[in-house]
């Protein structure tokens, strides 16, 4: 087996930082209590750092981190074994699988959405991107374009439907549906 290239510590910190929200949501789906979720996340980060030399550069960091988080959830559950509110391990594994599958599907959908956004005519792309800027309302866009808010809303509705059709088409084409 070829030796893997280690990840530079600064790059590893960037990887851990970039995945914090996803790990929190993943752990939260498996642990009922938010305080416990934070504790498990902190322990997961410690273990990720301790095992950073075992991570193979170029592989899926998210999947590797999720496996580590799952093991930390199991460790947490062992320490909490007297709590009657815990799910059994088989159910926990099933929930974990579903969360990972859903996260992967969401990631695929986002990639397709970005592709579809790039395929829109520039005026439609500008309107949809502008609408999702912080603190920008339909009325703001309407005023800027000299159109009614109703006309801008109708345009946004059509653009969203076009994007949805595009994403669904790409998923069906790639067999992800």
Domains of the chain (ranges; CATH) run 1-86 (1.10.1740.10), 108-177 (1.10.10)
Give CA–CA dist 168/163, Å, rounded: 9
**Model confidence, pTM:** 0.48
Q: In the predicted model, what is the mean pLDDT of residues 139-144? A: 92
Q: How far is residue 71's CA from residue 134's CA, in Å, rounded to a whole number?
A: 38
Length of the chain: 177
What is the model's pLDDT at position 82? 56
Residue-wise pLDDT for 83-121, tens only, equals 555 556 666 667 666 766 666 666 677 778 888 888 999
**11-15, 82-86, 92-96, 134-138: least confident range:** 82-86
Half-sphere exposure of 11 (CA within 13 A, CB side): 11
């Amino acid at each position: 087996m070829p030796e893997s290239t280690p990840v530079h510590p600064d790059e590893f910190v960037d990887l851990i930082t970039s995945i914090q929200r996803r790990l929190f949501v993943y752990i939260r789906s498996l642990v009922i209590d938010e305080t416990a979720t934070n504790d498990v996340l902190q322990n997961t980060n410690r273990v990720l750092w301790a095992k950073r030399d075992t991570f193979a550069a170029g592989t899926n960091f998210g999947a590797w981190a999720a496996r580590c988080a799952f093991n930390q959830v199991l460790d947490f559950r062992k320490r909490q074994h007297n709590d009657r509110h815990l799910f059994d391990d088989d159910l926990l594994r099933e929930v974990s699988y579903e969360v990972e599958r859903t996260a992967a599907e969401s990631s695929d959908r986002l990639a397709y959405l970005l592709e579809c956004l790039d395929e829109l005519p520039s005026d439609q792309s500008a309107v949809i991107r502008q609408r999702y800027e912080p603190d920008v309302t339909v009325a703001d866009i309407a005023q800027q374009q000299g159109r009614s808010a109703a006309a801008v809303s109708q345009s946004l509705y059509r653009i969203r439907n076009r994007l949805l059709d595009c994403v669904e088409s790409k998923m069906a084409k790639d067999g992800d549906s």
